[in-house]
Amino acid sequence: MTKSGAGRALTPKIFHAVTALVVITGLVVQLFVTANGTDGFFPDNPDRVFNMFAYFTILSNVLLGGTTLLLAITPERDSLLFRTLRLNGVLCMAVTGIVYHVALADLDDLTGWAAVANLLLHTVTPILGVLGWLLFGPRGRTDRTVVAWSIAFPLLWLVFTLVRGAAIGFWPYPFVNADDLGYAKVLVNCLLVALLFLALAFGAMLLDRRLNRTAVER
């Protein structure tokens, strides 16, 4: 392998490693903020810390961070499960960034480390996740089967959130708060987010085909 070829092979690994590092940093900072806070539905630990993982944002970042870390270690890693998790990480982070900045950002008034974690997890990591997929793929791994399986994670999260919310009265986001909005409105809100997710998923599939074809022709 030439030096230029080695450099091209190393660049994706570096980008994925940086993405994973930013995700880990954001999660650690958020964990610190959560563990040392007292406000919110759960005032005491360990309930506060465990409840972090009820948020779609946190789980999406975990997916992105885990898959990019694995790609940084082994770029050629491949399986149906990994393809699905990789697509989930990218799409869920894209949805997180869009929904947060369109519907939720104005509800926050954060300062200090909370603001740092918020910036990393809602803005920086979605950008890095999407950019990393566009630039480095891996290509040729997004087909109808992967898209179909990618729906499972957000659907399971929604079912868990609605069942848990009905049981204990905690809703991670205003647009899924069935106590305030009613289940009909919540389902409409979730349908809109689901349509966004599906549009991004099928868009990713078509774009992946095109980018893969272009790469092969080169």
Domain ranges of the chain: 3-217
Asked if 142 and 133 touch (Cβ cutoff 8 Å), the reply is: no
State the pLDDT confidence band at 95, using cuts at 50, 70 and 90: very high
Report which residue type is found at 47.
Answer: D
Say if residue 101's pLDDT is above 70: yes
Q: Which pLDDT score, from 0 to 100, does residue 8 have? A: 63
Asked if 105 and 123 touch (Cβ cutoff 8 Å), the reply is: no
Least-confidence region, from 30-39, 129-138, 164-173: 30-39
pTM of the model: 0.92
Residue 3, classified by CB atoms within 10 Å of its CB into exposed (0-12), middle (13-18) or buried (19+), is: exposed
Asked if 32 and 113 touch (Cβ cutoff 8 Å), the reply is: yes
For 178-182, what is the mean pLDDT? 96
Q: Which pLDDT score, from 0 to 100, does residue 97 have? A: 96
Say if residue 214's pLDDT is above 60: yes
Residue 20 token pair: 């994973």
pLDDT of 29-85, one tens digit each?
999 999 998 777 887 888 899 999 999 999 999 999 999 999 999 998 999 999 999
Asked if 63 and 88 touch (Cβ cutoff 8 Å), the reply is: yes
